[in-house]
Amino acid sequence: METPEALSKFHKALHLFKENKFDEAAKVLEDVLAKDPNDQDALEALGVIYGKLDRLDEAVELMKRLIKINPDHIMAHTNLSQFYMLKKMIQEAEVEQAESRRLSWKAELKAKKISDADIQKMSLEDEKEQVEAILRKIEQYKKVIEFDPKDVLGYFTLGSAYLQGKRFQEAADTFKIAVKVGPDHSPSYSAYGEALEALGLKDEAIKIYKAGVPVADKKGDIIPLRKMENRLRHLTK
C-alpha cells in the first residue's frame, strides 16, 4: 500500500468484506490492482475474497502471482494450500502447507539472528526442536481466522499447525471448532480424531471418525475417508 488512496480503498474493501459484500469488496481491490498489479496486500485479500465467491481458479492464480513477487510470503502459501484443498488437489495442498510451515520456521530462526547459511545446515531434527518456539508465534495462521471467523479452512490450518507441533489439546480444541463451523469438511474430522487419539481419548476419537466417514463418503473425499476407515478398524478391533 504505497499511496493513501490505495490504503483507503484497502480498508474500504475490508469493511465491505466484513459486511459479506464480497462482490463489492472484490471490485474495490481489483481497482487497486489495476493501478498497482504488485500490491501484495491487495493480492492476498482479493484472493481470499475470490475463494469466498468460489472463484477458485482466479484465487489460485492470484496467490501464484503473489508468491512470484514474494516467494517468502507465508500467507500466500497458506491460502494457496486452502484453495487447492477446496479443489480437491490434496497433494498440491499438502506441499503448500509444508512450505508455509517451513517459512514460518525460517522467519522464527531469522528473528533469533540465525543466518541463512546456518539454517541451511540445520538437520530435520534441529528443525523439529524449533517447532514449539515457532508455534508460539503462530499468529500467521491465526490471521486467516481473524479475517473470517467462519472460515473452516482457517481453523483446519491452525489445528494442523498445532498437531505438527505436538500441541494436541490445542489441536483438538481447534478442530472441534472446525467441524462445528464446517460440518461438511471431512479433513477436519480426520485430523480431529488424530488429535484425540494422541490425547489417549480413544472413545471420543471413534465417535468423531464415525461422524466423519459419512461426510467424506458423501463428498467423495477419498483420502480422509480411507484414513478414518482405517483408524476405525484399528480402534475397534
Using one digit for the tens of pLDDT, what is the confidence trace for 116-157?
A: 555 555 544 555 555 555 555 566 667 667 777 788 888 888
Average pLDDT of span 210-216: 96
The pLDDT of residue 4: 82
Specify the residue for cell string 466423519: 212
Q: Please give the residue that has the higher pLDDT: either 210 or 87.
A: 210
Q: Decide: pTM greater than 0.85.
A: no
- For domain 1-71, the CATH class is mainly alpha
Specify the residue for cell string 484425540: 196
Domain residue spans of the chain: 1-71, 72-235
| Sign of the dihedral through C-alpha 203, 207, 210, 213 | negative
- For domain 72-235, the CATH class is mainly alpha
The pLDDT of residue 113: 58
